[in-house]
Amino acid sequence: MNDTTPAISPRTTEDRFAEGLRGFGPPGILAMLVITAGNFLAPLSAVLVLVWAQLSRTPWREIGYVRPKSWIGGLAVGIVLGVALKFLLKSVVMPLLGANPINPTYHNLVGNTAMAVPFIFVLIVKAGFGEETYFRGYLFERLGKLLGRSLGAKVMTVLVTSVFFGSLHYFDQGLAGAEQATITGLVFGTIFAVTGRIWMLMCAHTAFDLTALAIIYWNVESTAAHLIFK
């Protein structure tokens, strides 16, 4: 009798390498450390995430890179969300937390066109592309594989990534910057946990930071901070 059982192809070196990058053994942990270290040269971390996804054979949809139903619609919603969230935090939330209405870290941008114009490009690349790809796309994929996909796991993922995101802002913007970034991370993280899509959040994050830049550049931080609470 002939054996008709199909032969199982042996795993190649590339298969084992990709599997290692997707796992949490030494290759996977090393990849996480290298990608995280890339945050010090943002948006290097985001570029490394895309390289990791390719080498590990991780589908791009798992890091939020899903074609939107409408590019223009996602852009429009993102802009509205980003601008509205920035004004909500600046005018309501941060004053209630006792934050200084002036951000001293970036106060040198007031009326400084020579610095503000190139800063626009930095914000688009660093915030919209870099931080969203890493904090929402990559970390959600990693923690999702580690913790699971249950509601509780998603809540934990949102909390962990938001606190981490906020903590990195402490070093240059102090407690107020960390608080604002944590809240922003909670909002963006919750949306990503529900939708699994990153395009709109890239637009929202960029709009948020560009609105902050505009408020500083035109020297209306104090005015915006006192719109509600005089």
Q: CB-based contacts of 141: which residues, under 8 Å, 6+ apart? A: 58, 62, 63
Q: Report yes or no on 58 lying in a domain.
A: no
Q: Report yes or no on 95 lying in a domain.
A: yes
Q: Report yes or no on 28 lying in a domain.
A: no
Q: Report yes or no on 198 lying in a domain.
A: yes
How many structural domains is the chain composed of?
1
* Each residue's pLDDT tens digit, 7-60: 445 668 888 999 999 999 999 999 999 999 998 887 899 999 999 999 999 999
Judge whether residue 5 has pLDDT over 70.
Answer: no
Q: Report yes or no on 1 lying in a domain.
A: no
Judge whether residue 218 has pLDDT over 50.
Answer: yes
What pLDDT does residue 185 have?
Answer: 97
Q: How confident is the model at residue 137 (pLDDT cuts 50, 70, 90)?
A: very high
Tell me the residue range of the domain where 187 lies: 68-225
Task: Summarize the confidence of residues 160-176 as an average pLDDT.
Answer: 94
Conformational region of residue 174, where left means phi above 0, alpha means psi within -120 to 50, and beta covers everything else: left
Judge whether residue 110 has pLDDT over 90.
Answer: yes
What pLDDT does residue 6 have?
Answer: 52
Q: Report yes or no on 39 lying in a domain.
A: no
Q: Report yes or no on 151 lying in a domain.
A: yes
Task: Summarize the confidence of residues 123-129 as an average pLDDT.
Answer: 91
Q: Report yes or no on 204 lying in a domain.
A: yes
pTM value > 0.85:
yes
Q: Identify whether the C-beta of residue 221 lies closer than 8 Å to the C-beta of residue 108.
A: no
Residues in the chain: 230
Q: How confident is the model at residue 208 (pLDDT cuts 50, 70, 90)?
A: very high
What pLDDT does residue 1 have?
Answer: 46
What does pLDDT average to over the chain?
92
